[in-house]
Structure 1
Amino acid sequence: MATTTIAADTDGEQVTLVNVFTVAPERQAELVDALDRATREVFVDDPGFVSANLHASLDGTRVINYAQWTSREAYGTALSRPEVREHIGEAAALALSYDPTLVRVRAVHHV
């Protein structure tokens, strides 16, 4: 089992994209695969990218993408790239709906 640590900067400029996709259960795995592929092929080499975590709901109807960026500006710059726009279109086509929200982490707790 992989261990995931969320790198959170509660005092700096870092921002987090929390994007909740609603998806037909039979397309959940396809959407997770598309988001995972795009993260590996498009985002990991972006200088403003920090991390991404993909979550699949147990009922099959949602996928949550939790992605962190060094700043709001870095995230905005990434959005302007054609390959990112292509990825967004692919994910949107697989989902019934999606709700991207840019936030700042304010507290982190670990055991």
Structure 2
Amino acid sequence: MPLISPDDGHLTVFNVFETDTAELQDDVLDAMRDIVDHADYPGWISSTLHAGIDTPGTANYIQWRSLADLQARYEGQKFRGKTVPQFHKLARTTRLLQTELEFTQQRPGLGDTVEISPDRDDHTVLIILDTTPDNQKELLETLARPDEWITTVPGYVSHTYFRGLDGTYVVNYAQWESKELYDAFHHLPEEQRPADVRAGRVRARELVTGRQANTYRVTHSRSATTD
């Protein structure tokens, strides 16, 4: 199964698609699954498909050995001539986000490595925070730091921050035990959060220029090492 580890050195790509209907979401997932199940690209490590819960859409969490391997895939004739047009036809918006892992934290007792698998029952939250190259570093320093309080929040499992390679965004990938527990945390009144957490949230909002968020369930995963 794919693992998120601060020591792996992988390039992580998030392919995030928004669709107008649940039916189109299923069409995107079917097309993605076909690609994932036949993947044999040099440097490809794993792909994990996510189905949108709050709004229709998909996310593919992909690990690559290096940026050069990914670019070779993107420059392929089949990818440019067939794959890209296919997904632009099915999805209302598409984002292909190239990132590096900056910070990860789990609930105490779970270790340092985060597991991603359809065999788990995680309620997955993906938040893309747009920013500027001048502010990306401070945004990461504000958010990507150890947080003891969140480990006491019912339902919390893990959260990980990724740095966008082009400097214009930060990605938060988080796991919770259920939608109900995450929603309770998400809508928690500000005055019930610790003072340092509130201050960080205020500063982060000042640094962010846009926000895209959805929740997901993992539906399929395949790794090169399992074949």
TM-score band, normalised by shorter chain: 0.7 to 0.9
Pair 1:102 & 2:215 matched: yes
| Structure 2 portions without partners, runs of 5+ | 1-5, 9-111
User: For residues 100 and 49 of structure 1, what CA distance do their matches in structure 2 show?
Assistant: 18
User: For residues 45 and 36 of structure 1, what CA distance do their matches in structure 2 show?
Assistant: 18
Whether contact under 8 Å (2:117, 2:221) holds in the other structure is: no
In the other structure, the counterpart of 1:20 is: 128
Identity %: 28
Q: CA deviation at 1:89?
A: 4.2
Q: Which amino acid aligns with 1:52?
A: H
TM-score by length of structure 2 reads: 0.42
In the other structure, the counterpart of 1:2 is: 7
Structure with more of its chain in strand, by fraction: 2
Larger RCO (alpha carbons 8 Å, 6+ apart): 1
Structure 1 vs Structure 2 CA RMSD: 2.5
TM-score by length of structure 1 reads: 0.79
| Structure 1 portions without partners, runs of 5+ | none
Q: CA deviation at 1:13?
A: 4.5
Paired positions, count: 110
Q: Aligned in 2, Cα 1:88/1:108: closer, same or farther, shift over 3 Å?
A: farther
Q: Aligned in 2, Cα 1:109/1:33: closer, same or farther, shift over 3 Å?
A: farther
Over alpha carbons, which structure has the higher Rg? 2
User: CA-to-partner distance for each residue in 1:10-65, whole Å, 9 max, x for gaps?
Assistant: 2564211100111011111111122223x614422212111111100111111000
